[in-house]
Amino acid sequence: MGGLRELSAPFVALGPTGVAVRTRLKDLMPRDEEVLALVGAHLGALASKDLKARCADGLEHSTDTWAARKRVLTALSSSRWAGAVTKATHDQWALARRGQAAHLKSLEAGVRTITHRLSLPVGQKGGKHAPGGYRSRREWFAKTRRLHVLQDRLDAVRADHRAGRVRVVRGGRRLLGTRHNLAAAGLGETEWRGRWEAERRFLTADGESGKRFGNETMRVTPDGEVTVKLPAPLAHLANAKHGRYVKHGRYVLNSRVRFPHRGTEWADRIEANRAVAYRIHCDVQRGRWYLTASWQYAPTKTIAIEAALAHGVIGVDTNADHLAAWRLDVHGNPTGSPRRFHFDLTGSANHRDAQVRHALTRLLHWAKTCGVAAIAVEDLDFGA
């Protein structure tokens, strides 16, 4: 008889380390949209070349190769734009590397499971901790073919991982695949091209503390004026005025922005010249431009678990289509009636994300009405 699963000691999760808020760039002039598209396309082309160079370096990457790539980009843009591009490149390569490692583990687990089940007699029942044999000779034969497919994939991914070779598509692999199935996606070639070009633009500027309003490349003033430092080849498009003269290399957008969510916190940061990163992107389907501001928090000390549970807690169990929640008193006894917060994980990624966010928002609102200061969620570890 197998033993019970070992329970780990409870802990208080760390608080948020950053925040991102988004607002719409309204009242843009056609000239503004044209300049943003030109700047985004120029920097996007540089980002594509830099990503290609980073992927070619593979595991041989070093600070020297990084500095060499940044010098090349600086001549074609600016030092700060070059820094933002190379940082984004490293993040994208690292994300692809982590995804590759996770895919490798998934393939290895699949190969182990199928190999084990093929070694058992057909129809043998499984136990609590191990699956049994396949139900029929037909299924057994189909799984032998599946095993060869997975083994070939595993060998290819393992070879890429050892060589430091990753597969990255700027603009998204799914959108790239849609190009060959435009009819099924309900898109024309012109519509697809517009989305593809919008996704491959690069208009992201890292913040820098000590600089005016926390960002020298994309600057947003407390009254909402947005200016962009133009790359060197596009400096002739500048329209920012300084006295009677055109201020070198800056373009002022006609739009005035405000952040309804966390706007006071954002204003406090820029008035203190603390770092704020900005990203401008276009939603081609809606024909709208958006500005996203993000910043990091200083690490804060986590409160003791006793303090978090002093006023009771909401216990949450995650399920395939809902969150099951129950209020617990300070002794761990359930009080009141349990609650369910449903979500639908079908459809597009944006729809699934919105469903989960909506369920979590309702859970948080209920926790506030209950007067508790903590929510307890099972720390699921499928590997264990």
Q: Is the pLDDT of residue 336 over 50?
A: yes
On whether the CB atoms of residues 325 and 341 are closer than 8 A, the answer is yes
**pLDDT band at residue 381, thresholds of 50, 70 and 90?**
low
Strands 334-342, 225-229: pairing kind? unpaired
% of the chain at pLDDT higher than 90: 74
pLDDT of residue 88: 95
List of residues 6+ apart from 44 with CB closer than 8 A: 170, 200, 201, 202
Q: Is the pLDDT of residue 299 over 80?
A: no
Q: Which two tokens stand for residue 297?
A: 């928090």
pLDDT of residue 279: 96
pLDDT of residue 242: 63
The pLDDT tens digits for 109-150 are 999 999 999 999 998 888 877 889 999 999 999 999 999 999
Q: Is the pLDDT of residue 244 over 60?
A: no
**Range of 79-83, 310-314, 346-350 with top mean pLDDT:** 79-83
Q: Which sign, positive or negative, has the C-alpha torsion 77, 280, 40, 73?
A: positive
Q: Which two tokens stand for residue 124?
A: 């043998």
pLDDT of residue 297: 85
Q: Is the pLDDT of residue 384 over 70?
A: no
**pLDDT band at residue 219, thresholds of 50, 70 and 90?**
very high
CA angle 178, 157, 101 (to 5 degrees): 95
Query: Which position has the token pair 């600016």?
Result: 78
Q: Is the pLDDT of residue 291 over 90?
A: yes
pLDDT of residue 5: 66
Average pLDDT of the chain, as a whole number: 90
- For 256, which DSSP code? E
pLDDT of residue 7: 73
pLDDT of residue 4: 63
The pLDDT tens digits for 49-79 are 999 999 999 999 999 999 999 999 999 999 9
pLDDT of residue 245: 44
